Structure 1
Amino acid sequence: MKKTSSKVYIAVGLGILFSAILLLNMRFSFKSYLVNSYYRSNEQVLAAFDPTNLNKSLPVKAISCYRGVLTNTALWSNYGDLEAALTKGDVLITLETWLKGPDYTNNVLTEVLKGRFDNQFNKLAAMVAKSNHKVFIRWNPDMEVPAGVYPWQFKSPNDYINSFNYFSKKIKNHAPAVQIVWGPSGYPGDTEYWPGNKTVDYASITLGSWSELTTNFYPHDQTTAAMLKHKLHRLRFIGKPVLIIGSDKGKTDFQYSWLNEQKNLVTTYSSTIYSKSNYIDSIKAKPNRTSLKIGVFDPNKRLLNQPEINVEHIFTDWGELERGDFEKKFTEAINRHHEVIVTMEPWRDITGKPDTAVLESILKGRYNEQIKKLFAIISATNTTVYLRWMHEMEIPIHRYAWQSQEPVTYINAFRYFMQFNGGPGKNVKKVWGPAGDRGSADFWPGSDVVDFISIAIYGLPDKNITDPEKQEAFSTIFNRKYFRMRFLDKPLFVTEFGVKGSESFQDKWLIDAAKTINANPHVFGVCYFNLYDNPKAWGNIKAPDWSISQQSMIKFCNLLKK
């Protein structure tokens, strides 16, 4: 009898092994495709923080945490031991909605609105309605984190808000006692996705969410205590109790004393930073303009003398103020019968050395004499002055000494300045000037020290994009940034905007800008940045030149409804 080759045995063995692995993968794929799975998760509800009643900010009794993964292709649900858990105690169910099959690339949020998950929602609601214990349902969490871990991330806030409200109403129709949880991670920009009081019972934050660990858009907090502080601060506009949830990747370091520290902070600033007047439910009404201010930052004086220009922009610092350079520039602008935007960058004095602890220095009174001198100069005229102070504070870089700082410290320094010795003259309008990026509202200093909100709009969304044709439209950037200010009640002034490229491309971009400005009556003024950008901010990349021709500016002004 002929011996079978050992190679044949190896080949057969490998074939069997490969087939087994394939069948196993098919089993799991089949299950995820056709079955909604519910399972016990490793998350923990560590505590609750109620900003509306600090006495309720206590450790919570045991809450069992479950996850439910729903797919549009599922034919039935495997609830595991969830039904039994609902009879024994309080339960938090984190519900996820996923698309499978041909619809995989669709927007899962719009598919929810089409009713693709209604049957699954209704069955879950009917089951939890039978429980005699408290049931929390948190739907599609971490929506604000730019990570791509979940299919509902990197989606527009409006899509998320509409689908969340749809889901909440579906659950409440069958299970009105269920507590609906809005579940951001607590990442910068979370309140962009706030759905409103009517469909939310609780908010939640996660200490060390997997989504955040996979992205580096913003620096990670070095301690859990700092993370808790920052995440609770970001929810200061939300008047709902907050569940504090631990990571599902292991035990979360947590101390209840940190909650007491947060309670003390809220109590200390209960009339300003953490005032209950901050709580919002809908878009706050902003005043409408009666006329439009048109300005330029134009140190080379190429556009200043155009008849439509009525505002000039001056950037300055303590050093220029002390040397007298600022007063000279300011007087020249006033003599041209222009209103003036003054952007004060308080980080270099006459020595030219930056103050790396500028916020603390302001609060300690180090710059009181400079503030007094500045106020005296800009208040000694009847001309309107727009005083913009410590701008672009929310960008997580270190270009300015007031960036990447504690929001509470920034707010206190802003308020100190604007209220110093009763504040500047009546001709001076107080301008709070974020870039308009994620997390802007974290630094909102309060309506009593702000007359205008300023934002900056430049065509290049990223300094690594050098092709002018890839610049974002003015309208795209404006709509994104304006939405972030929807809970703030002050009008807007676009104190910086610019576009690079050929004159024909710039004209096309400015046509879109004019249409956008005309369609938004809450914009009281615009100011073009007619110069190249600061090379130091662009590293090894050539700084963009935003300059436009006189003819382009004339065409832009003619398109605006004054």
Structure 2
Amino acid sequence: MKNIRSKRLLFAGLAIALLAVVLWLLKPLYRSYYLNIYYPSNERLGGIFNVNNTGTDLQPGNVVSYKATWRNNAPWYDKGEIEKELVKHDVMLTVETWLSGVNYNTNVLTELKNGKFDKQILELAAIISKARNQVYVRWNPDMEVPTNFYPWQYQSPQSYITSFNYFAKKLKQYAHSAKVVWSPSGYPGDTEYWPGNKYVDYVSITLGSPSENSVNFYPAAKTTQGMLRQKLHRLRFINKPVLIVDAGNISNATFQPTWLAEEKAYINRYRQTVYSDSNYTDSCKAKPIRKVLQVGVFDPNKRLLNQKNITVEHLFTDFGEVERGDFEKKFLEVTGRHHDVIVTMEPWKDAAHKADTLTLERILNGTFDQQIKKLFSIISATNQTVYLRWMHEMEIPIHRYAWQSQDPVTYITAYRYFMQFNGGPGKNVKKVWGPAGDRGSADFWPGSDVVDFISIAIYGLPDKNITDPDKQEAFSTIFNRKYFRMRFLGKPLFITEFGVKGPESFQDQWLAGAAKTINANPHVFGVCYFNLYDNPKAWGSIKAPDWSMTPKSMAKFCRLLKR
């Protein structure tokens, strides 16, 4: 009997040991799929930037950083030490929502909106409600970075905003003391994801963000302080104190609190223009409604100009043409046809046709004052309306134009210098600010006092490597994406460039969709078709797309428009 009992005890002990080994081996899987975990984070709160208020209720040195990883189907919680920390410290808690298992057809933002994380939100609310100290909750940060580093990235702004407000509303409903932090990395296009003031107490930006470090679409700042300045500039439309989060991945320097005073002085230097209080807003500003839709063309070969619906012609020019008199000749031809004129002024050539790599600096030091004066005298001496578009597509991170990939504050200062030169052009001239409508457009917004119209460009070809015309995006898809980026800016739109390539039947189909979108958006005051092939120099070894349409197609398009 003793031998049998001993063997049973031995087998039981071995079974327990084996089970322990199995559980130890499965621990990562167990933690990943069955636990909602709270644990210390290596992120650090470096400082608080509040340009409008010297005081703050938050001191960085007293705040510890925690992270919470939630799974949509995880049944158990491991709170770790967070409740004990909240007895001693304030806590900055970064909440991340993940999916349990592998389901590529499920969207984590949709799961949250459908209530699949409600239990976790209520559990967090219970923790906060019992806390002696303050909790600053960051939810699904870095949402604007164009990567799949986190499952909530590469989603539509509207989807993220809806999910954020769902989370924030429910959390505040059950934990009134919670401070909710909207947490972009500070990457170009961050304000597209701004959820509004209602549930947001703070904003945060991240220095050394691992998800941002995984992409390189935009030129990186050369210093950490330069990175800080870029990120703070992108938040100029949002009147909230900013938490500066150091992710611990900064290679050239750690965060220095003295930088905040320097950044505040920098902003105050441009307080009446770039950082005016008039920029602050909570939602999309109401746009004026058109009475008449203007229809124009860029048509150097003059194939569409005689159509009765055409009221505007587009001219591209530069300082060299103004000096030589070439621009005035072309301008008078247009006004002689009693058409209004879009003038896209490209300030990058002198009379000898040499590219100027220091365009913005030269504008501000007065190098082109005589050319500007001559331009204004030409375009102001007519009764026709002139839409003056200056230094367009500045936000695209390339170097096709000398004013692209430049410091936004320098660009804004040069834009304002031009539009206000000697009191500005005549009353017949409408000032047009003309981004392409890409990510980060609002970073270059020069101010309402120097803009009458916002111009965007809409071309069906989303990638120059695409040769199949059927793979072009619909007009409505591009328009909705780009118009949403202008939601902080209360000015009407003039689509000064748009086009589509392909067979005539495909163009007609695409243009019919464009007409439907234009009719449904009365804040679009004008449209102008680019009836030519693009500049071959911009396409390298690939054949430049030809946007040209036939007179028949233009007539058909105009009939569909509600003028």
TM category (shorter chain) comes to: over 0.9
What residue number does 1:228 align with?
228
Q: SS where residue 253 of structure 1 aligns?
A: coil
Cα separation, 1, equivalents of 2:242 and 2:274: 18
Aligned pairs for 1:144-163 (under 5 A) are 144-163=144-163
One-letter amino acid of the structure 2 residue matched with residue 200 of structure 1: V
In structure 2, the CA distance between the partners of 1:453 and 1:250, relative to structure 1 (3 Å rule), is: closer
Compute the displacement of 1:73 (Å): 1.3
Letter in 2 for 1:285: A
Aligned to 2:417: 416
Instruction: Give per-residue Cα distances to partners, 1:242-262, cap 9 Å, x unaligned.
Output: 000001447861222322221
Report the counterpart of residue 69 of structure 2 in structure 1. Answer: 69
* Equivalent residue runs for 1:435-474 within 5 Å: 435-474=436-475
Q: Equivalences for 1:341-356 in 2 at 5 Å?
A: 341-356=342-357
Q: Which moved more, 1:124-133 or 1:340-349?
A: 124-133
Task: Provide the C-alpha distance between the structure 2 equivalents of 1:290 and 1:533, rounded to a whole number of angstroms.
Answer: 32
Distance 1:406 1:84 in 2: 46
Larger mean CA deviation between 270-279 and 343-352 belongs to 270-279
Shift of residue 111, structure 1, vs aligned partner? 1.2
Superposed CA offset, 1:494-519 (max 9, x none): 00000011111111110110000000
Task: Give the equivalent residue in structure 1 for 2:532.
Answer: 531
Instruction: Indicate conservation of the 8 Å contact 1:436/1:481, yes or no.
Output: yes
1:46 is matched by which residue type in structure 2? G
In 1, distance between residues paired with 2:431 and 2:86? 54
Between the aligned partners of 1:353 and 1:57, the Cα distance in structure 2 is: 55
In structure 1, the residue matched to 2:16 is none
Match of 2:313 in 1: 312
Distance in 2 separating the partners of 1:337 and 1:479 = 33
Aligned to 2:434: 433
Q: What does residue 33 of structure 1 align with?
A: 33
- Gap regions ≥5 residues in structure 2: 1-18
**Cα deviation, residue 219, structure 1:** 1.9
Aligned-residue offset at 1:52: 2.2
TM-aligned CA deviation for residue 62 of structure 1: 2.6
Equivalent position SS for 1:86 = helix
Letter in 2 for 1:523: V
Q: TM-score, normalised by structure 1?
A: 0.94
Question: Helix, strand or coil: the match of 1:61?
Answer: helix
Please give the alpha-carbon distance, in whole angstroms, between the structure 1 residues aligned to 2:74 and 2:408: 45
Deviations 1:102-156 (A, max 9, x none): 6453111111111110011001111111112121000000000001111110101
Letter in 2 for 1:260: A
**Higher alpha-carbon deviation: 475-484 or 56-65:** 56-65
Tell me if structure 2 keeps the 8 A contact 1:318–1:345.
yes
CA RMSD between the two structures? 1.7
**3-state secondary structure, aligned to 2:61:** coil
Q: Which amino acid counterpart does residue 534 of structure 1 have in structure 2?
A: N
- Offset, 1:270: 1.2
Instruction: Give 1:326 deviation, angstroms.
Output: 0.3
The Cα shift of 1:311 comes to: 0.2
For 2:268 and 2:135, the matched residues in 1 are separated by: 30
The amino acid of 1:490's aligned partner reads K
Unaligned 5+ segments in structure 1 are: 1-18
Aligned equivalents of 2:179, 2:311: Cα separation in 1: 54
Aligned residues: 544
Deviations 1:40-84 (A, max 9, x none): 010000000013225659973331001100001100110111111
Q: How many angstroms does 1:438 deviate by?
A: 0.3
What does 1:483-562 correspond to in 2, within 5 Å? 483-562=484-563
Whether 2:172 is the aligned partner of 1:172: answer: yes
Q: Relative to structure 1, is the Cα distance of residues 57 and 131 closer, same or farther in structure 2, using a 3 angstrom cutoff? A: closer
Aligned to 2:81: 81
CA distance in 2, matches of 1:21, 1:536: 65
Cα distance in 1 between the residues matched to 2:22 and 2:352: 71
Please give the secondary structure, in 2, of the residue aligned with 1:137: strand
Counterpart for residue 139 of structure 1: 139
Query: Is the contact made by 1:73 and 1:99 (CA closer than 8 Å) also made in structure 2?
Result: yes
Q: Is the 8 A contact 1:126 1:175 kept in 2?
A: yes
Letter in 2 for 1:198: K
516-525 or 62-71, which moves further after superposition? 62-71
Q: 1:381 to 1:505 in 2, by over 3 A?
A: same
Alignment of 1:268-347 (within 5 A): 268-347=269-348
User: CA separation in 2, counterparts of 1:431 and 1:208?
Assistant: 36
Q: Deviations over 1:255-281 (max 9, x none)?
A: 223222211111111111111121110
Q: CA deviation at 1:355?
A: 1.2
Secondary structure of the residue aligned to 1:322 is: helix
Distance 1:54 1:271 in 2: 19
- 1:362 counterpart residue number: 363
Q: Higher mean Cα deviation, 184-193 or 255-264?
A: 255-264
8 Å CA contact retained: 1:50, 1:57: no
What is the aligned partner in structure 2 of residue 261 from structure 1? Answer: 262
**1:200 corresponds to:** 200
**Distance in 2 (alpha carbons) for counterparts of 1:469 and 1:345:** 32
- Match of 1:274, SS state, is coil
Partners in 2 of 1:254 and 1:194 — Cα distance?
25
Q: Which residue of 2 aligns with 1:118?
A: 118
The structural deviation recorded for 1:31 is: 2.4
Distance 1:101 1:242 in 2: 35
Distance 1:22 1:554, change over 3 A: farther
- Partners of 1:221 and 1:456 in 2: CA distance: 28
Question: 1 CA distance for matches of 2:155 and 2:396?
Answer: 21
Match of 1:46 in 2: 46
Task: Judge which range, 55-64 or 482-491, deviates more.
Answer: 55-64
SS across alignment from 2:230: helix
- SS at 1:191's partner residue? helix
**Residues 1:183 and 2:183 aligned together:** yes
Kept in 1, the 8 Å contact 2:128–2:177? The answer is no
Question: How far apart in 1 are the matches of 2:426 and 2:58?
Answer: 46
Q: Secondary structure at the match of 1:101?
A: coil
